[in-house]
Amino acid sequence: MKVLVIGSGGREHAIAWKLSESPKVSKVYCAPGNGGTANEKKCENIDIKPLDFERLANFVQENNIYFTIVGPEEPLAKGISDYFEEKGLKIFGPKKDGALLEASKSFAKEIMVSAGIPTAYYREFDNFEGALKFLKEKGVPIVIKADGLAAGKGVTVAHNFNEAEKALREIFIDNLFGEAGNKVVIEEFLTGEEASFIAITDGKNILPFASSQDHKTVYDNDTGPNTGGMGAYSPAPVVDHGVYEKVMNSVMYPLLNELKKKNIDYKGFIYAGLMIDKGEPKVLEFNCRLGDPETQPLLFRMKSDLFDLIDCAINGELDKFDITWYDEYSVGVVMTSGGYPKEYEKGFKITGLESVSSDVKVFHAGTKFQNGEFITDGGRVLCVTARAADLKTAIDKVYGEVSKINFNKCHYRKDIGLKGLIKNNR
């Protein structure tokens, strides 16, 4: 079977790699892919942008592609699944109405409230003056979110009034996020530990993935501005059996039922960003796709055939599938261009990749392959991913491999997985 993966990040490299491992898959096309997918077995990059629905659909028809899987959120939010399904093409990812879960934070909040899903108190505003007045009334700390898609960078956790006011000015006055900032959601600051809970649904059944934990901020000890993600590990000890049951019963099942009530036929991944305090989970946000960088350690841990899993989900047969996992920890460390998530340079040669151990996987994100060399081509460049029997060994292993890789102005966090290590040792 031939399949198509839409996107160019580390998540998409991981999806393409995992699909290529399936004996049922003969070819994985990546649109547009990156330097890593260009060098992956069974994989081939095609020069079509993720939002060029017509060319993508034509390519699928002309090349007899069995199914398409959508990596990033923007094509989903703009209706690629609607477009493909109208042409009778198999695609995995929610349609436009379901993708609103991520494309509009206010819509997601409305769903949470109507479904009785635990979440932070919030208000929404479409103007600077009203938002600022509410900010003065509520005080800090507080969380300010651009309503629309902002590539993981539209959220500010403000610990003082100046930070909060600056965030509002950037959204409303400076128009930093364009249309994504036409509205803001301001919500109470929640304390606890964050975790990622990802599941797959065929619209009727919902099947959870293993737990994971992302590291959003750019610097160690959760400092600095938010990024798309600086690393992740799985499983996350904060999601113990009790928390797992609460998330399924108070978040995932109610969400699926609420979507059904609204006649939203949701087939795809559902990612709940959680804050867990004293064993009680609350939802920070929903995403309509796999997380990045959570996907890299998750798929590196997955024993099951991803092709079979996606095929069952598309055909409404998830009840016939059971995901199996390696009984190990997996840790992914993201290596970024210096200056990310703000201004950064690209075009630097990446060295040391050939020295990485064969049992460690380097997933590419912002790279391209030219003249026989890998070159930096984005903010998040690589996600080095390792697996081991215990978390400490996995952490030591991955950082040992990270130290072998270099490019000019390279930056990465040194504390990925540390929270889990501390929790395990309590």
Q: What is the pLDDT of residues 335-379, one digit of tens each?
A: 999 999 999 999 999 999 999 999 999 999 999 999 999 999 999
Pairwise CA distance, residues 305 & 17, whole Å: 11
Query: What does the block give as tokens for 382?
Result: 């690589």
Q: Model confidence over 215-264: pLDDT tens digits?
A: 999 999 999 988 999 999 999 999 999 999 999 999 999 999 999 999 99
Could you give the CA distance from residue 250 to residue 273 in angstroms, rounded to a whole number?
14
Furthest-apart CA atoms within the chain: distance in Å: 60
State the residue for tokens 């399936």.
22
CA distances from 238 to 127, 274, 299, 392 (A): 38, 11, 20, 16
Between the two ends of the chain, the Cα-to-Cα distance in Å is 48
Q: CA-CA distance, 68 to 81, in Å (whole number)?
A: 9
pLDDT tens digits for range 290-331: 999 999 999 999 999 999 999 999 999 999 999 999 999 999
- Report the DSSP pairing between strands 184-188 and 142-146: antiparallel
User: What type of residue is 51?
Assistant: L
CATH architecture assignment, domain 193-320: 2-Layer Sandwich (3.30)
The two structure tokens encoding residue 4: 């198509």
- pLDDT tens digits, one per residue of 52-111: 999 999 999 999 999 999 999 999 999 999 999 999 999 999 999 999 999 999 999 999
Peptide bond into 32 cis (omega under 30): yes
How does strand 67-70 pair with strand 155-158? Answer: unpaired
Both structure tokens of 171? 């959204």
Q: What is the distance between the alpha carbons of residues 124 and 110, in angstroms, rounded to a whole number?
A: 11
Q: What is the CATH number of domain 2-95?
A: 3.40.50.20
- CATH for 121-188, options being 3.30.1490.20, 3.40.50.1970, 3.30.70.1290, 3.40.630.30: 3.30.1490.20
Among 104, 105, 96, 99, CA closest to 288: 99
Rg (CA), the chain: 21
pLDDT of 211 higher than 70:
yes
CATH of domain 329-424: 3.90.600.10
- The closest of 268, 250, 291 to 200, measured between CA atoms, is 268
Domain boundaries, the chain: 2-95, 121-188, 193-320, 329-424
